[in-house]
Structure 1
């Protein structure tokens, strides 16, 4: 029986999602100019409101943080941040930008050849590093490259976004949603890749065909580039030692995480020590480079500086010449001088720190708590009954229902993380047969990744990050343009990806 508390919980949940999709700012008096209600604050305010209305209790909040029935939110976030730190610090070395320059040189002046090479490179990097680090580096580079080459930026940016988010379905660490699925459905990490590799290959292939079809006009991708100068890839590799160490540590972490998953060990126990080890290396290596640079400067011969004299100024012999007057420059404060010194001394850590997706922490925990509140009020059981009735517990209807719903809910549930958490809980409560349950997990894995290539920027954290970077670089992509250019790739990927999942499950079961 659905109570008034249950209805209130669902309404507040939906309202919080609306503010995630369309954030607003409430103007106030100084010193606080406005109060933002967005991805970070809206779910937290929703929890506070539901707690005040007695729609949830401390046990529900604890369940959303610690986890219930095998789903451990803290495990997911520790794993994700550990790998994110290693991937972002690897990017700080310049290795991703160097790779982009190298690919640009290989493509030469052939527009379509270069377009294909970039697509393959971004796909490969996203498989290994996940979508967020590639979005961080690739977006800024493509904005720069398209300006220099005098190219229309939209085809290249849409291609990058689609490739990065499609490729993130291969490894369980490629996207936080993958970790949620492995935890919630009890899918072994190595088995996850075995299930998703074929859907990924098909999605990646048809996505490129769709991109080629809609950008075939020479205005979008010219057959011959008018400006195609050779770029120096070696200069972009700022720290070769850091790049080697970072690559080895990240690769070792991924391999070990796959191995220990066979023994039921929580993978954060592997990723966290590696991330701490990488942090220690970053501080030690940056300190060594800083000291070596300082010694080199101290040992160099000093050069006397003379006060410049205005040649037009006439002076008498023996008359002192006063230096030209300069406007006073504002002096930085002492939380600024210290920070600047730290950035100069330890550039790797302090460059990577602002790039870490800290907004994910309150958002993800809030989503877990809100889904737990829906379960507490009986909504998860209601949704599970609807799923059982619609699919009759059969495998192929479940694949298409979960897959299509997953893509849609990425736009309506506050990013693909919210959609994945919700559908995971609903599917677990539906008491599906084992083979249908496993098929639903793989369908959701495909949907939650390609669902980022969707109609709203808030369909994924990568979308919000992508939009922010473009705004900083002076490139405007409207919500309408984003939806229009993603419509065809998303449609063909949904059909092709879920068809491969259906074929896989038909063969296996």
Structure 2
């Protein structure tokens, strides 16, 4: 009991510090307690207290409810590296220019980007779409001299709602589908109308919010293509490999190729590509290998690796460890006993909201594993609500999903600040409306169809 109480306190302290990121003064230096430092410190405390061990950490990464946490890590960090490599080629800048020029107005651009994000998400993964389109939107705002916020928020939200159509759209969908033994077609039939309700609500909500600041006319100013694309051979190969990658992950489910394997393979291909062109693409001499009269500049390949948000790794591992400990201590089973509601409508809506907000306390992947175990004996509408919570919950705060944390770091790379306070202000109301409409439709589907 004491160990359980300590774990729960440490868990909420971790969440608070991850969101707050306080500063301390150490030897006259200001040190930010970011989510990486906090997570490592908490893991140390768990081990030092005897609550966890290295074996516990290893077990937390092993299969749970037919999902493997270490594979999720490969999916996120591998896709981040692939998309960073594509961006480094300059191709995304050119696409952004063409896209902006054809849009003509801010309103048309708004609907075009949301539709593009949605269609891409249906056939791939929400995280990959977010990582790919975010640089494009940033470049569009630079070329057109417009406020990127409406487009960034709307596209991010779209990738986390359209992702519910099929279970390949989000790893959390796979967790729920496997826990409830739902195949591809059964899952799609259950989630089609709730997803449609979520899409319509969110698009209408954001258009109503941003329509006054969407430009009537967009004028485009662009750099010379030769300045944007440093090496045409690298740009051609990088974009060509990405098209193949996109097709592979879109069709992988048809021939049993798991997403994590595809991403691991193509990450290796991009590493080889970046190594081959590093000497040409490097713009400074930071990392140079010298051997006799031969020297090779590796700065470019090192820079692309650095762009991956590796600081997220300790935080994600820590939350998976917490979920594993909670299951071991029986907390998961106890939480499941609390989901006894007076009627199905209240149960369906409440589960969607509870899991959505829980995602913003423990990140959506660990949260989904936790609640899939807690609710596995409940009716099917609870599973559908869990899908809603795990996807739409990623739109409430930046830590609701791993994509949100990565997204904010990508924006920081381009000089755009996106903190939790700003994000919540933009998304909270629409997220709640979306949860309400989609959970109500979920109830109707479960009750009458």
**TM-score of the two chains, using structure 2 as the length reference:** 0.82
Partner of 2:341: 390
Matched, 1:415 2:403: no
Between Structure 1 and Structure 2, whose CA radius of gyration is higher? 1
TM-aligned CA deviation for residue 485 of structure 1: 2.1
Query: Which of 16, 19, 26 is the aligned partner of 1:18?
Result: 16
Query: 1: CA distance between counterparts of 2:276 and 2:409?
Result: 34
Partner of 1:490: 431
Matched, 1:240 2:236: yes
Matched, 1:337 2:288: yes
TM-aligned CA deviation for residue 405 of structure 1: 0.7
Query: Which of 403, 424, 437 is the aligned partner of 2:352?
Result: 403
TM-aligned CA deviation for residue 332 of structure 1: 6.2
Partner of 1:381: 333
Matched, 1:5 2:39: no
How big is each residue's C-alpha offset from its partner over 1:136-169, in whole Å with a ceiling of 9 and x where there is no partner?
4533443443344333333223223222332333
Matched, 1:162 2:114: no
Q: How does 1:492-507 map to 2 (within 5 A)?
A: 492-506=433-447
Partner of 1:54: 50
Partner of 2:266: 278
Any idea what SS the aligned residue of 1:27 has? strand
Q: CA RMSD in A?
A: 3.7
Matched, 1:364 2:362: no
Shift of the 382–135 alpha-carbon distance from structure 1 to 2, 3 Å rule, reads same
How big is each residue's C-alpha offset from its partner over 1:52-93, in whole Å with a ceiling of 9 and x where there is no partner?
333345664443122455443234334555555555545555
TM-aligned CA deviation for residue 247 of structure 1: 1.8
Whether the aligned pair in 1 keeps the contact of 2:74 and 2:263 (CA below 8 Å) is: no
Shift of the 230–35 alpha-carbon distance from structure 1 to 2, 3 Å rule, reads closer
Partner of 1:465: 406
Gaps of 5+ in 2: none
TM-aligned CA deviation for residue 386 of structure 1: 0.7
TM-aligned CA deviation for residue 95 of structure 1: 4.9
Query: 1: CA distance between counterparts of 2:123 and 2:348?
Result: 27
How big is each residue's C-alpha offset from its partner over 1:185-205, in whole Å with a ceiling of 9 and x where there is no partner?
444456545544443333222
TM-aligned CA deviation for residue 10 of structure 1: 1.1
**TM-score of the two chains, using structure 1 as the length reference:** 0.73
Query: Which of 10, 15, 29 is the aligned partner of 2:27?
Result: 29
Query: Which of 217, 229, 244 is the aligned partner of 1:224?
Result: 217
Query: Which of 54, 64, 89 is the aligned partner of 2:60?
Result: 64
Query: Which of 35, 41, 54 is the aligned partner of 1:45?
Result: 41
Query: 1: CA distance between counterparts of 2:243 and 2:265?
Result: 13
Partner of 1:452: 394
Any idea what SS the aligned residue of 2:24 has? strand
Any idea what SS the aligned residue of 2:51 has? coil
Query: 1: CA distance between counterparts of 2:202 and 2:223?
Result: 28
Q: How does 1:306-345 map to 2 (within 5 A)?
A: 336-338=287-289, 341-343=296-298
Gaps of 5+ in 1: 261-266, 295-330
Query: 1: CA distance between counterparts of 2:166 and 2:296?
Result: 38
Any idea what SS the aligned residue of 2:341 has? helix
How big is each residue's C-alpha offset from its partner over 1:427-447, in whole Å with a ceiling of 9 and x where there is no partner?
23xx32xxx1x4323322222
TM-aligned CA deviation for residue 281 of structure 1: 4.1
Any idea what SS the aligned residue of 1:242 has? helix
Q: How does 1:131-150 map to 2 (within 5 A)?
A: 131-150=126-145
Whether the aligned pair in 2 keeps the contact of 1:83 and 1:250 (CA below 8 Å) is: no
Query: 1: CA distance between counterparts of 2:80 and 2:13?
Result: 30
How big is each residue's C-alpha offset from its partner over 1:111-133, in whole Å with a ceiling of 9 and x where there is no partner?
31222112222333344453444
Query: 2: CA distance between counterparts of 1:115 and 1:139?
Result: 14
Greater RCO (CA < 8 Å, at least 6 residues apart): 1
Query: 2: CA distance between counterparts of 1:87 and 1:97?
Result: 13
